[in-house]
Structure 1
């Protein structure tokens, strides 16, 4: 917008009347931000905030007694808290045999030249690392590298 002398005088008059910047913008056909920017550049007096129009200062807050500390509740672990699921009755279910892979027994040998594949659950007494001879440039032995490194599919095969 080009600020003509008439537009500036009208802005100053509406500002002096106490209209909000949004109202001045509506009356002049410009944005509120244009009004704010020009008022700032013209060094017009600051306006009271529309949020704090209280002429009377508020009384000081009355100090309260401290709240008692809430008692911490023991919640079950997140994976145990699940939404109820409707389950159909099972008639003579036969448990599936677990898949067991044969890997060499864990060796106690560790260092820069041993397989780092974890065996067992961390934090349990049976946890260890494979400890086998690693492949050149890899942290895992041949068997575990086959599990750890999966060749990515060629995306061109998916294109039609």
Structure 2
């Protein structure tokens, strides 16, 4: 049996779709499973795709531990390459490892909480803080009302609460988790 360009292209297509060597041999006709496997190796085609037509590689699920963590620890996922044996073959695979590092919480010593002016919606101006305080469905709902800089809807205190840098939000989220 000769491997024509058309048959090689069909082999590559069927291999990338995830068909087995036996299925490819049956579709090509006149060729054995072993001949298909040999041709795949000579062509240096990439590893097997998942059955079902997807061309993504098969990965082992992420191994996690469910040890309880204190709130002063932050976790970070790192990837490591490990070698394991499957039958007579040594395989290299990347696994994700959940590492934990201790985070020291230092409360800010110079935080001054402003005294709210308790303004209603109709009392707000361009120069007042529009930070909502309380439940809008309750009678004691109000806005901060303190003086705000020209370019912000909030006073300096509420700006710090509303506009946190991304890495600070992540650290805060890790402390909670």
Q: TM-score scaled to structure 2, two decimals?
A: 0.29
TM-score w.r.t. length of structure 1: 0.31
Return the index of the structure with the highest Cα Rg. 1
